[in-house]
Amino acid sequence: MRSTRSAVLLLLIAGCLAGCDEGNKTSSAPTQKKSNEFETGRFALQKMLPSARLWAPDAEPIELKSTPTSQDTGQGGKSANWRAVFGSPGRGKSEPFTWSGMADAPSRVDHGVEDTFNPNNRSTQPFDLNFLKVDTDQVYDVAQKHGGKEITEKDPKTQVTYLLQWNAQAGELEWHVMYADHTRLTVLVDASSARYLRKE
């Protein structure tokens, strides 16, 4: 009887030790390091939209803009930081939302502080998402053909920023592709058709 108890006790102790050993192996396993994520403007806007609609069900985007970092130039149409301002006609308020693909960002989507909003103001008029058919990787290619290529070939580190706004006067949604070099070239592209519009 005593030998049976001793055997059971030894088995229990061995099981505990094996479990502890397995736990140590698991905790000491290397964790996968999070890396930066670079995305197009349309992707980032879609990621911010659910949060904006939770803030206000009638929220529509007013503008979308990329913010270059030291780790990306924005060339190719992708950025790790995007900021969108949404307006709510029902609430008479606007609110900025951000999407960040930076590994050290506390969260992918965040928001700022509400501000007053007048939907009748032509300079802050929201746009219908159905107009957004062309993404930043496509408009970058268009901009490259209209002066951008010469700039990026001359300086491969040139920062490229993207701004999406509704042009109330023309009745069209426009991408502004901005090259931050000494010429400060801006190429405007139709966000519905990828049609080159003009330089500024």
160 and 144 Cβ atoms separated by less than 8 Å: no
Q: Which domain does 114 fall in, by range?
A: 41-199
| Residue 29, domain member (yes or no) | no
83 and 98 Cβ atoms separated by less than 8 Å: yes
- The answer to whether residue 161 scores a pLDDT higher than 80 is yes
Mean pLDDT for 3-32 is 48
74 and 68 Cβ atoms separated by less than 8 Å: yes
What per-residue confidence (pLDDT) applies to 41? 98
> What does the alpha-carbon distance between residue 178 and residue 185 come to, in Å, rounded to a whole number?
6
| Residue 169, domain member (yes or no) | yes
| Residue 152, domain member (yes or no) | yes
Cβ partners under 8 Å of residue 165, min gap 6: 62, 63, 127, 173, 174, 176
Alpha-carbon Rg of the chain, whole angstroms?
Answer: 26
Given pLDDT bands bounded at 50, 70 and 90, which one contains residue 10?
A: very low
| Residue 88, domain member (yes or no) | yes
Helix (H) or strand (E) holding 95: strand 93-100
